[in-house]
Amino acid sequence: MAERLTGSSVEESPEPQPSTSRRRYKATNMAFEEMVEMVSILRREDCDGKKGPYTRPNMRKDKIMASVVTTLEAKFGTKRSKEQLRKRWSDIKSREPEQYW
């Protein structure tokens, strides 16, 4: 009987499901060179949408952030999430305007 219980419990246990949550990256301090590169890309691509009305502005911003993520990883070897970069961009614009310029 003990063999039946262990055998059936093994069969009934589901396979471990892969995590569907987003990958999280440890938030580390951003180097000044990284910040300068990020700001230059976002200003060049008009991430704030100041140069005109755009169709689907959120999709446009998402594509721009994706390119910023890949560029920063290629140049500096640091993988950062889009959310981290969005927060940093917001902080730079609102709290640190002298660094923005």
* Residue 7 domain flag: no
Give the pLDDT confidence score for residue 69 in this predicted structure: 92
User: Per mean pLDDT, which range of 12-16, 53-57, 80-84, 95-99 is the poorest?
Assistant: 12-16
Rounded Cα–Cα distance for residues 48 and 45 (Å): 9
Has residue 21 got a pLDDT over 60? no
Has residue 1 got a pLDDT over 60? no
State the angle between helix axes of 57-76 and 82-94 in degrees (0 to 180), rounded to the nearest 10.
Answer: 100
- Helix, strand counts (H, E) of the chain: 5, 0
* Residue 98 domain flag: yes
Give the pLDDT mean for 49-75.
87
Q: Count of domains in the chain?
A: 1
**Average pLDDT for the chain:** 76
In single-letter form, the type of residue at position 13 comes to: S
Radius of gyration (Cα) for the chain, nearest Å? 22
Give the pLDDT confidence score for residue 7 in this predicted structure: 52
Q: Can you give the residue range of the structural domain that contains 74?
A: 56-101
Site of tokens 């005109």: 52
* Residue 48 domain flag: no
* Residue 49 domain flag: no
* Residue 86 domain flag: yes
